[in-house]
Amino acid sequence: MKQEVLDRVLGILKTGAEDEKETAAGQLMAAGETAVPGLQAVLASGDADARWWATRALAGIPGPAAVQTLIATLSDPDEDVRVCAVMGLGECRKAAAVDKLLTLLPGGNSYVARHAGDALSKIGEPAVPGLLRALEDKSPAVRAQAARALVRIKSHQAIPALIKALDDPEPTVEHYAWEALQRMGVGAMVYFRNP
């Protein structure tokens, strides 16, 4: 895509109607990594809606510059922009995002934390060590998000921690730990263990 066309399409993210922004985001995704510097410039703007659309476009670009920009966008002041970045990182399943996504679990914003847990579950096995640490966090909400993410991953390395979580004082953690063990086929074995 020529620079003048790229600049015009980037401008649509700031001034266009919703359907025009959707089309522009698709064009920017198709342009690939060449669109990343322009999208970074949009992310530096004060317009949260334009930043959301830039983040949406970045989520469809698989290259390393786009992924690193999405990771940086996890610190955006607007929660909808952060969630868009979280969802994009979950869809591209990049292990490089695990550490930053884990920092969103205890952030106090349950909307962002829930999506961060979902993204970590999509990333899968590379997220397990961090989720196991989160499963021991002092915050019941963080432990619950970690256990919930582990349900989908079905990692056998999580079995001992999930068995321990069956005794968690937070019922939600216990519920998700049990569900994870059930999905891995070890729930019945745990149920019949000796006291």
Domains defined for the chain, CATH in brackets:
1-92 (1.25.10.10), 101-195 (1.25.10.10)
pTM (two decimals): 0.88
Average pLDDT value for the chain: 91
The pLDDT of 83-109, averaged and rounded, is: 91
pLDDT given for residue 189 in this prediction: 57
Give the per-residue pLDDT at 89. Answer: 95
More confident residue, 107 or 183: 183
User: In this predicted structure, what is the pLDDT of residue 136?
Assistant: 95
| Amino acid, res. 69 | T
Find the mean pLDDT for residues 150-176.
93
List pLDDT tens digits, range 59-83.
Answer: 999 889 999 999 999 999 999 999 9
Give the model's pLDDT for residue 173: 95
- Give the per-residue pLDDT at 109: 81
Per-residue pLDDT at 138 = 95
Q: What is the mean pLDDT of residues 91-108?
A: 90
* Amino acid 3: pLDDT: 87
Please enumerate in sequence order all residues whose Cβ is within 8 A of that of 83, keeping only pairs 6 or more positions apart, or say none: 111, 112, 115
The confidence score (pLDDT) of residue 193 equals 47
